[in-house]
């Protein structure tokens, strides 16, 4: 949702959106920022898994793989879109190439996962 505020003081006591330096001018205001960030969904999934006695869907290995993927994307961008291998974090905390094939774990995506620039955004 786009909002417009002509003067900073009009919204001085109103939260608009995180990480914005000013409340003056046009802003992309979210009517339900918590819902749109995904944290609520992540926590709901965690609570459902705990209540059902299942391992959490979003665990520390997923977090480590996510950080590795984002970092590889930054490296790829810095290197004009060159493909960068994404190391996979193993359950014992070590890193290496992703194993062959697909397992029961979504993070197992096959050998040589890569991050690539816009010309190969799908990673194919």
**Of 23, 38, 55, which marks where a domain is finished?**
55
List, for residues 41-51, the tens digit of each pLDDT value: 888 999 999 99
Residues 104, 91, single domain; the answer is: yes
Residues 50, 71, single domain; the answer is: no
Distance of alpha carbon 52 from the chain centroid: 26
The domain of 78 spans 60-120
Residue 119 near residue 90, CB atoms below 8 Å: no
Residues 65, 115, single domain; the answer is: yes
List, for residues 58-82, the tens digit of each pLDDT value: 888 888 888 999 999 999 999 999 9
Give the chain's domain count. 2
User: For 17-48, b where at least 16 C-beta lie within 10 A, e where not — what string?
Assistant: eeeeeebeeebebeeeeeeeeeeeeeeeeeee
Residues 78, 43, single domain; the answer is: no
């Amino acid at each position: 949702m786009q909002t417009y505020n002509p003067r900073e003081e009009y919204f001085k006591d109103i939260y608009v959106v995180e990480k914005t330096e000013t409340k003056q001018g046009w802003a992309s205001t979210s009517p339900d920022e918590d819902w749109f960030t995904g944290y609520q969904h992540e926590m709901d999934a965690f609570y459902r898994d705990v209540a059902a006695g299942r391992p959490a869907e979003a665990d520390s290995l997923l977090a480590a793989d996510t950080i590795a993927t984002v970092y590889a994307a930054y490296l790829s961008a810095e290197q004009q879109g060159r493909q960068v291998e994404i190391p996979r974090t193993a359950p014992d905390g070590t890193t290496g190439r992703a194993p062959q094939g697909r397992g029961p774990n979504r993070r197992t995506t096959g050998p040589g996962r890569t991050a690539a620039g816009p010309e190969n955004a799908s990673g194919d």
